[in-house]
Amino acid sequence: MRTTSRLTTQACVLAGIALAAAMAPINAHADEGGVSFWLPGQFGSLAAVPGEPGWSLAAVYYHDSADASRSKNFTVGGNVVGGIDGHADLLFLAAQYIFPEPLWGGQAALMLTGAGGRMKTTADVTVTGPLGNLISQSQTDTLDAGADLYPLASIKWNAGVDNYMVYMMGDIPTGAYRKGRLANIGIGHGAIDGGGGYTYFDTKNGHEFSIVGGVTYNFENNDTDYKNGVDGHVDWAASQFLSEATHVGIVGYNFFQLSGDSGSGAVLGPFKSRTNGVGPQVGHFFPVNGSKGYVNLKAYWEYGAANRASGWNLWVSLLLPLSPPPSKP
């Protein structure tokens, strides 16, 4: 089979979108409360392939379910709690503009992402009883609110079947966060993440493989005097186009903390964490006003976790191009 160039450019508009999310302690990937700025699985198939210039809008529904045994402690909102059991239902909206003029021989793009939804977290909290005795009891917090804002800039280059990219992403801590609360949608501090990626895309046979890696630097949470360590992460995906409209494949991620946590609030020590995930994906293209929209479904099951809650997560992504298709010469 042979995929068309139109399919190539439209596919990568969504595939290149990185939706950075600050998750509440239910997803416990690393750092304070087991929570990292980077949400593993953000990058997927065709991540480094240049896209169609102009505006696009992406919407992503994200569901997460994770837990940790009561024997495992976490620092959440300045308190030490035992075990975590939680669920998240979030909707991310990302507006992206791809510049038509080349920059350093590549294609530059800017994006801003916001999110909102519901977090529900249960943990064992130690409180002081009426006689001064310490009592451990189960507590549940539920929060409906908005997340932080996540700006992203990227540049992508194409050389035949080889595609390359670099990116820089940040966290603007505007989301719902309060010290002492179990469920927080914001992470309570700023962060900067940068990295690069590669995509092999054989349009003749429909073969594709993508891998993106990066490093996160976290600023201190002034509310809890907790400073997360430096995090490393790798997202990868492989797919096969069954037709010009549909592709299937697998996705995965590896997350690992490179340096330990610090600050007076890090009472559990370095608390270095790691996790891995793998699962299936399917994507489909559909016509939208002379251009192509895209919908993708993927899921991850986690394994090999340390100092974090573990479970599964589901992504449903929708891309709608907003700019008119380029005129034919």
d(CA 46, CA 91): 22
Cα–Cα distances (Å) from 90 to 59, 65, 222, in that order, read 10, 12, 26
Residues 6+ apart with CB under 8 A from 257: 30, 31, 229, 230, 231, 232, 272, 273, 274
DSSP 7: H
DSSP 15: H
Instruction: Please give the structure tokens belonging to residue 221.
Output: 């949470």
DSSP 32: G
Q: Is 225 helix (H, G, I), strand (E, B) or coil?
A: coil
Q: Tokens 């900067």 correspond to what residue?
A: 192
Contact 321, 313 (CB under 8 A): no
d(CA 291, CA 58): 15
Using CA atoms of 307, 194, 146, 301 in order, give the dihedral in degrees to the nearest 10. -40
Is the pTM of the predicted complex or chain greater than 0.75? yes
Cα–Cα distances (Å) from 192 to 15, 63, 74, 84, 230, in that order, read 21, 24, 24, 27, 10
How does pLDDT run along the chain (329 residues), one tens digit per residue? 444 444 444 444 444 433 333 333 333 333 555 567 888 999 999 899 998 899 999 999 999 998 876 667 666 666 677 677 788 999 999 999 999 999 999 999 999 999 999 998 887 766 544 555 555 677 888 999 999 999 999 999 999 999 999 999 999 999 998 887 888 888 889 999 999 999 999 988 999 999 999 999 999 988 888 888 999 999 999 999 999 889 999 999 999 999 988 888 877 778 888 899 999 999 998 998 888 888 999 999 999 988 877 899 999 999 999 877 666 55
Domains of the chain and any CATH numbers: 5-124+134-321 (2.40.160.40)
Instruction: Please give the structure tokens belonging to residue 245.
Output: 């409209």
Burial (CB count <10 Å: 0-12, 13-18, 19+), residue 105: exposed
Contact 235, 263 (CB under 8 A): no
